[in-house]
Structure 1
Amino acid sequence: MESVFQLRNIRYGDILNIQHMDIPKDKITCIVGESGSGKTTLIKMLNCLISPTEGEILFQEKNISEMDPVDLRRRVVMLGQNPVIFPVTVRDNLSIALRFSEKEPLEEQEMKKYLAMVHLDKNLDQPVENMSGGEKQRLALARVFILNPEVLLLDEPSSALDEETEILIIEETVRYVKHYGKTLIMVTHSKLIAETYGENIIKISKGQFVREGEM
């Protein structure tokens, strides 16, 4: 099976100690484990938001330390638990993503299509200040979809959502990555989500990892 990431002899302070880990390409990998086990630290290293103290990380067989970090982050996009939402309109938040990735502006109908994918029924010219935390999280996810990355790194992407909306959003994300042939690497607290959608499950415990197997 082809790997999108390969980790070799990785250390990050006293938080992570990973001797060997391969993450498969074009699959859904769920990362699970108790709070403080190093899950978020792990995925932040995958697009150079932080760098390991020791060891190397290969992205498609190229050492990420030798890559342009901006180029890497356009190809490997991360959505954190508390994504940055700019205090402007819905339209502007989506347009900012396009400018970052040096992509052409989208027509209004295309923008609305991405909002529909995350079940966000908002006017494009609506200010975001009064949107709920869950709505902002969905807007941030739509922004990730618009960027069209090769790899999506999601850190608890549904943490601000109620259970019903959580399932809808995860299903839409899975549908997106399968339709467009993407790789999804997702930190989740939910055993149900991991077992339902994960094709590969990695458990992190006290900075070490155990591959639980392929679903």
Structure 2
Amino acid sequence: MFELNDVKFKDILSIGHLNIDDSGLTMIMGPSGSGKSTLLKMLDDLISPDSGEILYKGDNIKSYKAHELRRKVIMQSQFPAIFEGDVRDNLNIARKFSDIDNLDDAKLKELLDIVLLEKELNDNPKDFSGGEKTRLSIARVLAMDAEVYLFDEPTSSLDEETEYKLISNVIKYLKERDKKIIMVSHSEKLFSLADQVISIKNKTATIKEV
């Protein structure tokens, strides 16, 4: 799915070779400041390595126009934005930016169930708690029909039990649709769900046996 060759970024990462396969869930582990978020951002071409190349399905990601790549590879950041409008507007806004038809209400409610968000589609998210806003933003990412979903500690604001149930729902939903998931998390419990684990240590990344 992704292949990194001689990738270096500042004094943060120096990866000789890394192959991220297309099996369902790849988890990225490593201490704080080790470059986990940097790696995710490079996979979505949000930042560029100082040297080396990153391939997506055999093609250099630089060969894609930004909007084309992000229809295929979509990222949920640690600090997701909430947009003007109600829940319905927020769930469909990424599709609107990508010139994709809105999802109907039945599908949007299904996404809210997956992320355990008990809200109505016409509710205003500006009044939501931090955890509720996080869940809404995850549902917004799920609303896109991407090939790869990148999650950067998506549920750090939730308690461990809720986090595990929510992420389990998300993984099940995406795997059923043959989607690839790459996730950064500090939750050891979530690593039990991984098909592949990448460990980042001393600037480099290696595949660990699951």
| Correspondence for 1:201 | 197
The two structures, once aligned, show a CA RMSD in angstroms of 1.0
TM-score (norm 1): 0.95
Q: State the 1:133 CA deviation.
A: 0.9
Q: State the 1:162 CA deviation.
A: 1.1
Q: State the 1:18 CA deviation.
A: 0.3
Pick aligned residue for 1:186 from 165, 179, 183: 183
Q: State the 1:211 CA deviation.
A: 1.6
Q: State the 1:26 CA deviation.
A: 3.4
Distance of 1:151 and 1:12 partners within structure 2: 22
Distance of 1:207 and 1:191 partners within structure 2: 21
Distance of 1:178 and 1:105 partners within structure 2: 22
TM-score (norm 2): 0.97
Q: State the 1:164 CA deviation.
A: 1.5
Greater alpha carbon shift after TM alignment, 100-109 vs 37-46: 100-109
Greater alpha carbon shift after TM alignment, 33-42 vs 83-92: 83-92
Unaligned runs of 5+ in 1: none
Distance of 1:43 and 1:64 partners within structure 2: 13
| Correspondence for 2:29 | 32
The answer to whether the 8 A contact 1:76-1:153 is kept is yes
Distance of 1:192 and 1:168 partners within structure 2: 11
Greater alpha carbon shift after TM alignment, 22-31 vs 56-65: 22-31
| Correspondence for 1:140 | 137
1:48 is paired with a residue whose SS is coil
Matched, 1:89 2:86: yes
Q: State the 1:62 CA deviation.
A: 0.5
Distance of 1:112 and 1:154 partners within structure 2: 21
| Correspondence for 2:206 | 210
Q: State the 1:97 CA deviation.
A: 1.5
What number of residue pairs does the alignment pair up?
Answer: 210
Pick aligned residue for 2:148 from 147, 151, 162: 151
Q: State the 1:188 CA deviation.
A: 0.8
The percent identity for this pair of structures is 43
Residues 128-157 of structure 1: CA deviation (Å, up to 9, x unaligned): 111011111111111111102100000011
2:31 is paired with a residue whose SS is coil
1:116 is paired with a residue whose SS is helix
Distance of 2:206 and 2:109 partners within structure 1: 41
Greater alpha carbon shift after TM alignment, 127-136 vs 35-44: 127-136
1:99 is paired with a residue whose SS is helix
Q: Counterpart of 1:204 in structure 2: which amino acid?
A: I
Residues 136-188 of structure 1: CA deviation (Å, up to 9, x unaligned): 11111111111021000000111011112101111111101210001110001
Distance of 1:70 and 1:206 partners within structure 2: 33
| Correspondence for 1:160 | 157
Distance of 1:27 and 1:86 partners within structure 2: 30
Residues 35-66 of structure 1: CA deviation (Å, up to 9, x unaligned): 00000000000011101100000000000011
Moved over 4 A (4+): none
Q: Counterpart of 1:145 in structure 2: which amino acid?
A: L
Q: State the 1:125 CA deviation.
A: 1.0
Matched, 1:68 2:65: yes
Distance of 1:165 and 1:30 partners within structure 2: 19
Q: State the 1:27 CA deviation.
A: 2.3
The answer to whether the 8 A contact 1:101-1:147 is kept is no
Q: Counterpart of 2:173 in structure 1: which amino acid?
A: Y
1:147 is paired with a residue whose SS is coil
The answer to whether the 8 A contact 1:38-1:206 is kept is no
Q: State the 1:191 CA deviation.
A: 2.0
